[in-house]
Amino acid sequence: MIDSTKRRGSRFTRVLGASGVTLLLVATGCSSEVRNGDPQISVKADRNSAGALEALTVTGKRFSPNGMAHITLLLAGGPSNASPYFEEDIQADSDGKIRYEKRPVPCPTAADYGQGSYILVTARDTNSGISGSRTLSPGGTPDCKV
């Protein structure tokens, strides 16, 4: 026999369920808003025929307008220093866009870095502390040599 009586949850259960759905929608909206507002970068690496990095161009958006951006280039180094790096500060324009160009690409100044290739570029908005990064594919020849 089929029970044809309509079951209804309590008012409290319905309010709690509606509140949960509303909270989920608000949280989803907020998280996508934050993610879409983070700084983003793109990188163009120019390598010579042997594979060594000759020039690097980093462009980005969603940085603090007229604020500073901290650029870090991470090198996969030799046996004496596993992660040397080169860093520099640049200023974003009034629209929060950055452009960083290096030809030739500088190498770390630490005397013990050995040799290696750049593997990561990071641009951090110094006002918010939020960064964007891109990996680089090493070529057949090290980008930096002692």
Whole-prediction pTM value?
0.71
Please report whether residue 27 resides in a domain: no
Residue 85, phi then psi, degrees to nearest 5: -150, 165
Query: Where in the sequence is the domain holding 105, given as residue range(s)?
Result: 39-135
Q: Is residue 13 part of a domain?
A: no
pLDDT exceeds cutoff 70 at 4: no
Residue 116 lies in a domain: yes
131 against 146, higher pLDDT: 131
Helix (H) or strand (E) holding 29: helix 11-37
Between CA 59 and CA 101 the distance in angstroms is: 9
What is the count of structural domains for the chain? 1
56-85 per-position pLDDT tens digit: 999 999 999 999 999 999 988 666 656 788
CA-based radius of gyration for the chain: 25
Report in angstroms the alpha-carbon separations of 80 from 113, 138, 142.
Answer: 6, 19, 15
Domain at 91, CATH number: 2.60.40
Flag whether 58 is in a domain.
yes
pLDDT tens, residue by residue, 74-128 = 988 666 656 788 899 999 999 999 999 999 999 887 766 678 899 999 999 999 9
Residue 112 lies in a domain: yes
Evaluate whether residue 6 is within a structural domain.
Answer: no
Q: What was the pLDDT predicted at 107? A: 86
pLDDT the model gives residue 31 = 34
β-pairing, 98-102 vs 40-47, is unpaired
Judge whether 77 and 120 are in contact, CB under 8 Å.
no
